[in-house]
Structure 1
Amino acid sequence: MDWYAFLCRHMVTPIWAKKERSPYLDHCRRLDRFPGRSMEDLRAIQWEKLRELIQHAWEKVEYYREKWRSIGFRPEDLKSKEDLLRLPLLTKEDIRAHKPRMIAHGIPTEKLIPKKTSGSTGVSLEFFVDDDSIQWKRGCELHFNQWTGWKIGEKVAAIWGNPTHRANWRAVIRNALLERYDYLNTLKMSEEQMLAFYQRQLRRKPKLLFGHAHSIYLFANFLRQKKLEPFRPKGILSTCMVLHDFERRRIEETFGCRVFNRYGCEEVSLISCECEAHQGLHLNLNTLAVEFLRDGRPAKPGEPGALVVTDLTNYGMPFIRYKVGDVGIPSGKECPCGRPLPLMESLEGRVADYVVTPEGNLISGISLTENFAMELPEIKQVQIVQEKPDVLVFRVVRSETFSAGSEEKIRNLALQRFGKTMRFECEYVEHIPQEANGKYRFCISKVKNPFA
């Protein structure tokens, strides 16, 4: 039994939070009590938070005040969700161009924490989050982590890019005593590194495995190929990338526990998380307002839409109707778990992860890579790149069983999915390169689509 986990949960963590004057544990406990509320209650609280944020942005943020004045909008005009649609969307380009004017007047500089995205679209994004918002985000993360069965204070194994637990001696001590993470750096996933990570976890016995979806899948494959007996966490948190069904199956078969899918981004933190029912991802309406838009209108349940998010906690540099750059499918169903949080059916990937056919049809990159993985086991990895409406490039990593007939299978599969008007070519590579943040992208389209 891990006695220190009990000590950490009931003594070390509360004392540390008190020493830092951090309310994140209080926020976590408050969220733990939310299942007793109705969805109507939570939506009413969310709406009031939204109105307060809009009023604050009007009074304190030059960028929003000028934008809204130009369209004849004032905070008192916000009476329904339809009124919210009047407000302009916020893009990454807007933030880069107007960052100084987006910072709220009257917020002490020491309360603003600089943040930076990893730049999955090619250019990183720099912004600020106020300290109160950071504490809410920490509380939310702890709350949702516990849905896996993990408890505060228990050890975590993380497969992640650019870990910061060794940034300085304070970070080392904090991690050893409080956070208890051990990392496999996704930017250095050699067989030697994976074996060393595996051996450490056999000794540590972590209760949670956390990381990039595809990187966890690659690690599971490594264990199976080497015939290594896996360590047994209580649950697995998959995040930062779309989780394919074939990846979920392989990971769950390998580790003998369920995978909990999660979605978020650096700009607004955790957006949605899967519960033990595994029938969609619960939207985090505790700290966010989430919209799904298609051609500028709200997407219907079951219809893909571009994700637009308002962070209800960041008053230092508000993100109001921020276009994240991803596509998701809203659900009209209630979850059997009973939690009063609406569902997202699935995350469909980035806006640029949709292939557009010459006829104008949209095909999700998720379905394509899933299809290739299921139909072509002789392929280790595939990346689909679309530069023009009628041309695709398949970057293929071949396995030992790849043969001359495999390319014919690719040809037939492409013909079935895209028809005769789509041309394609195969480019054989040793590996699919990771992005700077350690993530993989398996479908990249540079052709405009309705979500752009």
Structure 2
Amino acid sequence: MMYRQLYRLMRIIRPREFRSLKYSRELERNQWLSRDELEHIEWQKLKKLLDHAYANVPFYRQRFQQVGLTPADIQTKKDFCRIPLLSKDDIRAHEDELIAQNYAEGMKRDTTSGSTGIPIGVYHDHNYVPMENAAFTRLRRWFGVEPGDKAAWIWGRRDDLPADTWSARLITALKRERWLNAFRVSDEEMQSFAEMLVEWQPDYLVGYATSVYLFARHVSSHHIAEIHLKAVETTAGTLWPHERQMIEETFDCQVFDRYGSHETGHIAAECEYGRMHIACDVCCVQILTGGKPVSEGEVGEIVVTPLYNYGMPLIRYRIGDVGSWDTQACPCGRGLPALHEIVGRTNSIITLPSGKYLYGGIFLTILEDVLEIQQFRVHQPTKNKLEILLEKGDGFRQETIDLVHERTIKLLGDEPINVSILATNEIPPTVSGKYLVTTSDVPVEF
């Protein structure tokens, strides 16, 4: 309780934290509004952002003019769809032109993890961190955590990890955080981290979905039962059902998955009923196929527009994920819209020679009972080739490879695809510490 009060005091005396407290009150109030009221708030914020972008951002002024639009022409969501989509290549090629001329000073440049390709640079203005903190405060209150509670992190992005300086260590101590670097973490490091958590007793654990799963598997296999958590928060990749089950059984608490990116910030998070609510008062989300909004139950490309970063607006940004809407009312009573599922990244979808698609998670369903495999990774370099990498576990033998090959061929059916399988002692994570199940170099168009 003392630390929570200290956090409130910090928010009052520090300008950035004071803004965060202001935004937090707004977001706490918004979540209980009706869907119609939230759509009105989202639309007003979106219109204000479009006016700003047209007046102050050279890239958008030129882009609007190319398609014969002004902000005054955009009166409905259908009109909004006339604005061309923003790609990662657009950001790389026009980084300077995407910066608002009235926000050029005092912004922070951030670089994406690059786990899905070449990293891109984005700029965040002075409101970005306060709004992000407010969004995280709201979602964490859904599982009983307040600012100032103890947090254990399993993370891999270098820019987010605390620096090895006395000042960084002091800040980490004051914030009551402990960190485990998810990049190339060893059994010895996981054991040391687990032993520290037994003594320290954090309130919650935050981390990359697969990295948290691997840590939970280590804790379970070593019969460490003394880590007591209120909740586990996962992000940065798909949380598969068997991973959720392992984490919840190991730590005897609920897992809350959240969705976002370094470019856009927070997008959505699960409530206590497991529904993935979109923070529509923070970020506008569209799901499209063929450039048009999807029908109910239809899967499409997720396109986002953060509503609060005026320094470098990302309008109708192709984040690289695929998902669908959840149109049912949630028992939690919040008016925030929800995603039914985030199927995966566009570059995790396998495109078959026939033109059909396989979503990456399907490989989990055919391989999850093969206990001789610790991990696996499937990569599609071309439409006619699949490469499967297997991390060997106890009892691994040639028959294991034969079984994986047999099941993969059965899954592919009559598709003319050459399948190659390689066994290894270790599958390393990406440079950001993430573990990717499937990747494909074959582009997908929605």
TM-score greater than 0.5 by the shorter chain: yes
CA contact (8 A) 2:112 2:120 kept: yes
User: Is residue 96 of structure 2 the alignment partner of residue 100 of structure 1?
Assistant: yes
In terms of mean alpha carbon deviation, does 237-246 or 28-37 score higher?
Answer: 28-37
Q: Which of residues 51, 58, 62 in structure 1 aligns to 2:54?
A: 58
1:387-416, Cα deviation, whole Å (9 max, x unpaired) = 122221111112112233323321231123
Quote the offset at 1:367 in angstroms. 2.3
Please tell me whether the aligned partners of residues 242 and 349 of structure 1 are also in contact (alpha carbons under 8 angstroms): yes
Query: How many residue pairs get matched?
Result: 441
1:119 is the counterpart of 2:119: no
- The equivalent residue for 2:409 is 415
Return the alpha-carbon distance in structure 2 between the equivalents of residues 203 and 370 of structure 1.
37
1:230 deviates by: 4.3
Instruction: Name the counterpart of 1:173.
Output: 170
Instruction: Provide the rounded CA distance (Å) in 2 between the counterparts of 1:334 and 1:437.
Output: 36
| Contact 2:326-2:340 within 8 A present in 1 as well | yes
User: How many Å separate the matches in 2 of 1:121 and 1:249?
Assistant: 27
Aligned residue number for residue 207 of structure 2: 211
Q: How does 1:27-426 map to 2 (within 5 A)?
A: 27-107=23-103, 109-110=105-106, 112-161=107-156, 162=158, 163-177=160-174, 179-278=175-274, 280-373=275-368, 375-420=369-414, 421-426=416-421
Deviations 1:124-172, CA, capped at 9 Å, x for gaps: 1112111113211111111112212222211011111135323543332
Percent of pairs with identical residues:
32
On the 8 A contact 1:245/1:370 being kept in 2, the answer is: no
Q: Provide the residue aligned with 1:446 in structure 2.
A: 441
| Contact 1:164–1:171 (8 Å) recurs in 2 | no
> Where has structure 1 moved over 6 Å in runs of 4 or more?
none
What is the TM-score normalised by the length of structure 1? 0.94
Q: In the aligned structure 2, how far is the partner of 1:51 from the partner of 1:442?
A: 39
In structure 2, how many angstroms separate the alpha carbons of the residues matched to 1:49 and 1:167? 40
CA contact (8 A) 2:392 2:426 kept: no
For residue 3 of structure 1, what is the aligned residue in structure 2?
Answer: none
Q: Distance in 2 between matches of 1:189 and 1:47?
A: 44
Per the alignment, in what secondary structure is the counterpart of residue 92 of structure 2? helix
Q: CA deviation at 1:246?
A: 0.5
What SS does the corresponding residue of 1:424 show, helix, strand or coil? strand
CA distance, structure 1, for counterparts of residue 381 and residue 105 of structure 2: 44
For residues 259-278 of structure 1, what are the alpha-carbon distances to aligned partners after superposition, in whole Å with 9 as ceiling and x for unaligned? 10111100111111001101
Q: How does 1:422-433 map to 2 (within 5 A)?
A: 422-433=417-428
5+ unaligned residues in a row in structure 2: which ranges?
none
Letter in 2 for 1:416: K
In the alignment, the residues of structure 2 paired with residue 166 and residue 232 of structure 1 have an alpha-carbon distance, to the nearest angstrom, of: 28
Question: Distance between the aligned counterparts of 1:219 and 1:230, measured in 2?
Answer: 14
- Conserved? CA contact 2:116–2:347, under 8 Å: no
| SS of equivalent to 2:127 | helix
Aligned partner of 1:234: which letter?
A: K
CA RMSD of aligned residues (A): 1.5
Secondary structure, in 3 states, of the residue corresponding to 1:249? helix
**Whole-Å separation in 1 of the counterparts to 2:40 and 2:336:** 13
Q: Deviations over 1:232-275 (max 9, x none)?
A: 10000010010000000111111101110111100111111001
Q: Distance in 2 between matches of 1:248 and 1:230?
A: 19
Distance 1:171 1:370, change over 3 A: farther
Structure 1 unaligned regions, length at least 5: 1-5
Secondary structure of 2:49's partner?
helix
Deviation at 1:359, TM superposition (A): 1.3
- Structure 2: distance between partners of 1:411 and 1:386: 15
Once the 2 structures are TM-superposed, how far is the Cα of residue 317 of structure 1 from its aligned partner?
A: 1.0
Partner AA of 2:171 in structure 1 = R
**Could you tell me how far apart the structure 2 residues matched to 1:131 and 1:168 are?**
25
Amino acid at match of 1:62: P
The alignment's TM-score, normalised by the length of structure 2, stands at 0.95
